[in-house]
Amino acid sequence: MYFCFIITLLNHHPKYGRELLSFLDPKMGVPVTKGMHTYDDDCELTWANFTDNLDHYYLIHWVDWFMVSFMIRNFYILHFQHIFDEVLELSWQHILPHFRECWWDHIFCDILLSNIPAITLSLWVQKRYGLISYDFLGSEGKKSFWEWDFLHCHRKFGINIYIFFLFKLCFLNGFFLNNNLLIPPVHAFPPMRLFVWFGIGSIAFREGYEDFRTWNTVERKFNVVEGRYRWLAISMIITEAMLCYKYREGTGHIQDDAVTPLYISIPWTATAVGTFGYWLYLRFKPGHTVKYPEDAPSSMKKVKNH
């Protein structure tokens, strides 16, 4: 009940809501300003600058990707996701300058010295203790990339895009929540939020994988795929995104009125249009996949057999 009161106050009275958060924790209520540590002040590649950037974010990168690997459990998706995080930071840095980093910070501190080692170690631990991997792409037993299942089934392609979108939105929410709710970078809230997400996300990802694995199989007809944790995760991500949008004004150094450069908007628009267009092609092409193959119309079976 007390939690609902805080959320209601945050929703209708931003000023008093933030004051209440600072009352609960005096460390809160301090705007994330440019006076705090930033990562693009001096981009000369020197040992002093390099070691200065090995701070709490470097540790969070390690813990985050080590734990996330237990959720996703797929070599290809994990490496694509962590590299795309750097693309997201480059795409949003004109709105949230806290994303700005030097080129060597992206490559060395984030990708080579934290993300890749953390993922590699996590996948090794999973293999060592016999945890199953999640073949979300349908690559097992295939001879080439073009034979992977997600490229030939609208449902499996859609699941991967759906997971990718929610995962990236959750990533952005983490940074904007800190800024918009006046939570300082070094605080217990970010790691606590991550551990909550690891617990809920692990179950949600398993549900998603069962959905992917059983699609277009007879097994699917007699075994219901649960979706309660996926809906819970979606509702949490949407709620976070709404809070980020509502508290975007007058918080930290966010630049809500910044104009998105064409070199950012055009590639993103082209990618979205191309992705949706390919999904439409898979959905309506002759012989497209169906939920229960044995119930497919005879004409579709002929096309598929052909």
Output the pLDDT for position 12: 54
Please report where in the chains the tokens 């930033």 appear, as a residue.
38
Indicate if the pLDDT at residue 15 is higher than 50: yes
**What is the mean predicted confidence (pLDDT) over 98-121?**
93
**Rounded Cα distance, 256 and 116, in Å:** 33
**Angle, helix 228-246 to helix 154-180, in steps of 10 degrees:** 40
User: In sequence order, what are the residues at sequence separation of 6 or more whose Cβ sits closer than 8 angstroms to the Cβ of residue 41?
Assistant: none
pTM assigned to the model:
0.86
Q: What is the reported pLDDT for 13?
A: 57
**pLDDT over 80 (residue 64):** yes
- Buried b or exposed e, range 57-88, using 16+ CB within 10 angstroms: beebbbebbbbbbbbbbbeebbeebbeebbee
Q: What angle do CA 86, 91, 94 make, to 5 degrees?
A: 120
SS3 195: helix
Lowest-pLDDT range, 103-107, 164-168, 181-185, 241-245? 181-185
